[in-house]
Amino acid sequence: MTTATTEKIVIPVSGMTCAACQSRVQRTLSKMPGVADASVNLMMGNATIDYDPGAVNPGTLVETIRSTGYGAELPVVGQSTFDEQAARDEATSAEFSELRRKAIVSGIAGAIAMLVSMTTMGGMTRGPITWFLLALTVAVMTWAGRHFYTRAWAAFRHHSASMDTLVAVGTGAAFIYSVIATVAPGFFLRGGVQPDVYYEAVIIIIALILTGNAFEARAKRQTSAALRALAHLQPKTARVVRGSDEVDIPINDVKAADVVVVRPGERIPVDGEVISGTSAVDESMLTGESLPVKKATGARVIGGTINGTGAFRYHATTLGADSVLAQIVKLMRDAQGSRAPIQALADRVSAVFVPVVMSLAIVTFVIWFVSVHASGGLAGAAAVRGFATAVAVLIIACPCAMGLAVPTAVMVATGRGAEMGILIKGGEALQRAGDVDTVVLDKTGTITEGKPTVTDVVSVPGASRQANDLLALVASVEASSEHPLADAIVRHAKELELTVPSVEGFESLTGRGATGTVNGQVVAVGNERLMTEQHVDTAPLRADVERLSAEAKTAIYVAVDGALAGVLAVADPVRSTSREAIEHMRSIGLHVVMLTGDNQQTADAIAAVAGVERVVAGVLPEGKVAEIKRLQAEGRVVAMVGDGINDGPALVQADIGIAIGTGTDVAVEAADVALMRGDLHGVGQAIELSRRTMRTMKQNLFWAFVYNVIGIPIAAGALYPAFGLLLSPILASAAMAFSSVSVVSNSLRLRRARFT
Amino acid sequence: MQSTDWIVITAGLGALAWVNWYFFLAQRGVAATVATTGTAGMQEVHIAVHGGYEPAIVRVAAGKPVRLIFDRQETSSCSEEVVFPSFGVRKFLPAFQTTTLEVTPPLAGTYEFTCGMGMLHGKLVAE
């Protein structure tokens, strides 16, 4: 019994393989003091426990489960898809506001320091003003810049170095130098150098880098905006029928098969199947389809989409982590976190970057010292020059831009894809899709609807029977058949709301058709062979049958009482959007190939309608893989488009597998890209998006490398001999802050990418 | 060249050598921590995340699942993700919380893990 004092927890349990395992865990838990109720679900692999929090804690429950020999772990806070996203968002927005606050305050401090130091330039470098600057710098370093030093130290202890190390060493060196000049100016004067201080530089460098970090945090937040928008689609409550009432309950309490009520304009709370009512639902947020989708009894609705003007009730089906929305969010999050192979070089460079930059700074110091000294400068002046350039080198180097170049592009691109109903499963998929030059389309369910439909009903010339009556007769017989074509006929009769009489003496004749008696009439439905067997003359409709075959339709003969009555044609119609989508693919330079198991004639007919130039007919399901291998052997980078059901191996063999969706089965394992919409437009769009993304990644990497390759030598004074140009550490910090922001901003441009 | 120059050059070379030794070579000397075997034969190791991974090198038995319990003791965004490239794992580590993840090194060998930006490094050494 659950009482007011107990709490409920669901703990995932792993390793249970049988009912005995289940009962063992359940028995052990139930016997525990403080446990009110425990139920262990073998299928779900979890234990639901009502416990008294005063007597037992979740950790003990986990230990108890583990003591039975099975794995268990606490559901970590932020484990669920939506919660984890929320935790991330909270962390990034907290980071942003903290950085912004620190950047603003240290910016003001920097401005004050600058003004104060200018007033001291006229010689009054000593005295209280310098001490004031020292105090201000210490305040900024310990408050706003504190994390640079603590992190740099923590990294140092682990023999690693990060951007913080560069900032900490650079500003720390400038600070210590200034402190010596303040406390013991004589030390410098003896070396023949004015004891200048760099306090304002330290403060401004910290302020600029914090500003850059704040912008970067905000931009990084924007890179996952699409994902966040998706996570926010999930309503918090659902209105379900309980007894005779409609009650609002939290979304997590909805159970499978609950009846959910949706009113006009409301967001649909969970996935389900409509049981009554009709409406049109706006699914654009998930599928990118702009037109509302009609929903009637039996239709599937997706949680998070918006109901139009109708009202309806539906049975809840998939819930929680299994819901379409949660799966999309999870898939997107995994994709956004994945790495693209192009990043490997950046990774190798950033692993050694910081120590290398520190080495360069040391070399810079030594070279400047020796050359200034050799050209007659005093040792003190030589040290000052060497010191300033070494600090500039440390400050200008930016490993961050390299680290951000690829991941931010992957994040923005996958988010942009999701907005268009294109789910790209990671950086590697994006990279390969960008190289695709050939698209192989499976015919059935891809170019075509994948559902045979009655297209023609032809009665024999001079027949008194109406076409609909003929159809009703055939539907009566076929209602008992399991043939896929029979289903098309029965469905067609239903759609026309025909009364279908019952059949007697039904007989299915494999490979030929079926026979039965309807209203006293003997009806035979089938192919030419059946007609021959039944001694039916098919000559009167031969011309029609030939025409239908040429149109890639399957002709089905109907004989009533031994005489030919008519012909039905069934075909898998080409999707209305296929032709335009294929034209688009060709316009972006893709070679389009259609694969089908049909004979050449049918295949050519479909190809002509769809606008495909190259057809490979008569391919058995297992032949698809060989066909793709053949194309790959020609040096082509192949994308295979299929429905993910029959063509799994082909999707895997292809360089990129694209599963064309029904809007509900998101997680087609074999596919690298899943299209939420059931049309081919997404194929060209996905490839265009990938190409754009690859361009962005290359630009980012190029910029990040070039920035450092050019920036570090300039900071080191490479331009000094020729142009007398030296970079002050303050300018170096501005350049550094700008470089990572520019990389993220370039990635964000993908958000606005438009595709036809 | 004067003696000061030679002093500076020598000191510079010394600093150079030390930086490269400390960041590239000394790391190898870091002692590895051997994962403890918990209940149900699961290897377990706690790793503190604070400017790096502590321990950074973990010895485990190959072919058996390893439960890694990351305790992130900072808010620095650098360590907000941990990545195991060989296992295709990328996990968000909420600040000041522990996050558990399980991997099974299939064969003996070294499996690196890094932070989301590849700056912090750790290794699983499977034997």
ipTM: 0.70
CB contact at 8 A, A575 and A679: yes
Instruction: Tell me what the mean pLDDT of segment A26-37 comes to.
Output: 83
CB < 8 Å to B117, chain A: 350, 400, 403-404, 407
Nearest CA in chain A to B26: A159
For residue A502, the 8-state DSSP code is -
Provide the token pair at A207: 């302020």
Residue A672 appears among annotated catalytic residues: no
Query: Using CA atoms, how far apart are residues A332 and A419, in angstroms rounded to an integer?
Result: 11
Percentage of the residues of chain A whose pLDDT score is greater than 90: 23
Q: What is the C-alpha radius of gyration for chain A, rounded to an integer number of angstroms?
A: 36
A151, A199, A205, A368, A719 from A730: Cα distances, Å = 22, 11, 6, 19, 17
CA distance B76 to chain A (A): 8
**Exposed/middle/buried for residue A620 (C-beta within 10 Å: 0-12, 13-18, 19+):** exposed
Least CB–CB distance from A77: residue in B51, B97, B117: B97
Q: Residue A663 pLDDT more than 70?
A: no
CB < 8 Å to B75, chain A: 91, 94-95
Instruction: Tell me what the mean pLDDT of segment A257-277 comes to.
Output: 91
Partner-chain contact B12 A374, CB within 8 Å: no
For residue A574, the 8-state DSSP code is B
Which of A521, A520, A525, A510 shows the shortest CA–CA distance to A559? A525
Across A192-196, A234-238, A246-250, least confident range: A192-196
CB < 8 Å to B94, chain A: 77-78, 87, 91
- A218 — pLDDT class (breaks 50, 70, 90): confident
CB contact at 8 A, A196 and A181: yes
Q: Residue A400 pLDDT more than 60?
A: yes
Q: What is the structure's pLDDT at A665?
A: 60
Instruction: Tell me what the mean pLDDT of segment A325-338 comes to.
Output: 78
Q: Residue A57 pLDDT more than 80?
A: no
Q: What is the structure's pLDDT at A720?
A: 87
Task: List, for residues A380-391, the tens digit of each pLDDT value.
Answer: 788 888 888 898
More confident residue, A328 or A69: A328
Partner-chain contact B19 A407, CB within 8 Å: no
Nearest CA in chain B to A85: B92
CB < 8 Å to B100, chain A: 73, 76
Find which of A166, A362, A364, A394 to mutate to test the B interface (most B CBs within 10 Å of its CB): A362
Phi and psi based region of residue A616 (left: phi greater than 0; alpha: psi -120 to 50; beta: remaining): beta
Partner-chain contact A164 B78, CB within 8 Å: yes
The number of residues in chain A equals 756
Q: Residue A19 pLDDT more than 70?
A: no
Instruction: Tell me what the mean pLDDT of segment A412-423 comes to.
Output: 90
Nearest CA in chain B to A151: B51
Instruction: Tell me what the mean pLDDT of segment A222-230 comes to.
Output: 80
Could you say which of A258, A271, A282, A442 is catalytic?
A442
Partner-chain contact B16 A359, CB within 8 Å: yes
Partner-chain contact A160 B120, CB within 8 Å: yes
Across A219-223, A459-463, A739-743, least confident range: A219-223
Find which of B119, B121, B123 to mutate to test the A interface (most A CBs within 10 Å of its CB): B119
Least CB–CB distance from A67: residue in B9, B39, B51: B39
- A1 — pLDDT class (breaks 50, 70, 90): very low
CB < 8 Å to B118, chain A: 346-347, 350-351, 403
Average pLDDT, rounded, for chain A: 84
Q: Residue A123 pLDDT more than 80?
A: no
Provide the token pair at A159: 């023999």
A341, A342, A369, A432, A698 from A345: Cα distances, Å = 9, 7, 34, 17, 12
**Exposed/middle/buried for residue B11 (C-beta within 10 Å: 0-12, 13-18, 19+):** middle
Q: What is the structure's pLDDT at A361?
A: 94
Report helix, strand or coil for A1. Answer: coil
Task: List, for residues A443-476, the tens digit of each pLDDT value.
Answer: 888 888 877 888 888 888 877 788 888 888 889 8
Query: Using CA atoms, how far apart are residues A84 and A336, in angstroms rounded to an integer?
Result: 14
- A327 — pLDDT class (breaks 50, 70, 90): confident
CB contact at 8 A, A177 and A83: no
**Exposed/middle/buried for residue A438 (C-beta within 10 Å: 0-12, 13-18, 19+):** buried
How many CB pairs below 8 A link A and B?
A: 142
Q: What is the structure's pLDDT at A141?
A: 93
Least CB–CB distance from B26: residue in A159, A164, A407: A159
Report helix, strand or coil for A130. Answer: helix
Q: Residue A501 pLDDT more than 80?
A: yes
More confident residue, A124 or A346: A346
Give me the phi and psi of B36, to 5 degrees please: -85, 150
**Cβ partners under 8 Å of residue A516, min gap 6:** A476, A477, A480, A503, A504, A505, A506, A507, A522, A523
Task: List, for residues B3-49, the tens digit of each pLDDT value.
Answer: 888 998 999 999 999 998 888 887 655 556 777 776 566 788 888 88
More confident residue, A604 or B75: A604
For every residue of A391-429, DSSP letters joined together read HHHHHH--HHHHHHHHHHHHHHHHHHHHHTTEEE--HHH
For residue B32, the 8-state DSSP code is P
Q: What is the structure's pLDDT at A77?
A: 38
Partner-chain contact A158 B54, CB within 8 Å: yes
Query: Using CA atoms, how far apart are residues A279 and A299, in angstroms rounded to an integer?
Result: 10
Instruction: Tell me what the mean pLDDT of segment A609-618 comes to.
Output: 88
**pTM for the whole structure:** 0.75
CB < 8 Å to A366, chain B: 8-9, 12
